[in-house]
Amino acid sequence: MPIAYIPRTRELYSAYAPYRWVVNEEPPPWTPLRKLLAQCKVALMSSGGVLYRDQPRFHREDASYRLIPRNANRADLSIWHFGYPTKDAEQDPNCVFPLERMREFEAEGRIGELCDPAFTFMGGVYSARKVREELAPKIVEELRRRRVEALYLVPA
C-alpha cells in the first residue's frame, strides 16, 4: 500500500492549520504525444532543489527556477531543499534529477534529443497560486522557445 502522505503530514504538522492540498476533480488537460520519444526533443525538470555550481540557493516560498547545463557533471550539482531527506540525492543527484540517465537514453536513441538546459526548482512551495501563475507560465515559455516536445517531471 502506498503511504498516505496527506493524513501523515496533517498529523506531523498538527501544530499548524491543516494545509489545503489542491484537489482537481475535473479531468486534466491533455495533449497527445504524436511521435515516439525517439523522435522528440525531451526536457527534464526536477523539483528537488538542484543547483549548478554557484547558482543562488532557493528560499522559503521561492517560485524561481534554475537552468542546469545538460552536460553538468555530478560535482557541479548540489541540493538545496528542506522538504525531503536529501542525503541520497546529495550523494547521487540522479535519484531526483536523472540527468546522466537521460543523456544515456539520448545516446542510445531512446529519446530523440535531450533539451539543453534542464530545469530545476525547489518544489516545497505552499502557494499553489504562485506555482501555477508565476512559475509554470515561465516554464512554458522556456520550453516553447526551445521547441521542446515532451516534458519529463520528477518531484522529490
Partner 1 sequence: MCHQSVGLIARVVEAAGIPTLCMTSAYDITQAVNPPRAVFVDYPLGHQTGKPDDLDNQRAIIGDALNAFETISKPGTIVRLPYVWDPNDRRWEETDYMPGFRLPRPKKDAADLAEQERRRRYRVANPG
Residue 67 identity = L
Q: Is 25 in the site for partner 1 (CB under 8 A)?
A: yes
Cell representation of residue 122:
525547489
91 near partner 1, judged by CB under 8 A: yes
**Per rule CB under 8 A, is residue 31 in the interface with partner 1?**
yes
Is residue 29 a contact residue for partner 1 (CB under 8 A)? yes
Judge whether 67 and 117 are in contact, CB under 8 Å.
Answer: yes
Q: How many residues bind partner 1 (CB under 8 A)?
A: 77
Question: Is residue 39 part of the contact set for partner 1 (CB under 8 A)?
Answer: no
Ranges within 104-133 binding partner 1 (CB under 8 A): 104-105, 110-111, 121, 123-126, 128, 131-132
Q: Which of 101, 107, 109, 116 binds partner 1 (CB under 8 A)?
A: 101
**18: contact with partner 1 by CB under 8 A:** no
Give the span between the Cα atoms of 106 and 110, in whole angstroms: 6
Contact by Cβ (8 Å): 136, 22? no
Q: How far is the CB of 113 from partner 1 (least distance, A)?
A: 14
DSSP type of residue 70: T
Contacts of 53 (CB under 8 A, 6+ apart): 76
Is 15 among the residues that bind partner 1 (CB under 8 A)? no
Instruction: Report, in Å, the least distance between residue 79 CB and partner 1.
Output: 9
C-alpha cell at 39: 523522435
Q: Does 150 bind partner 1 (CB under 8 A)?
A: yes
134 interacts with partner 1 by CB under 8 A: no
Q: Are strands 150-154 and 41-46 parallel, antiparallel or unpaired?
A: parallel
Query: How many residues are present in the chain?
Result: 156
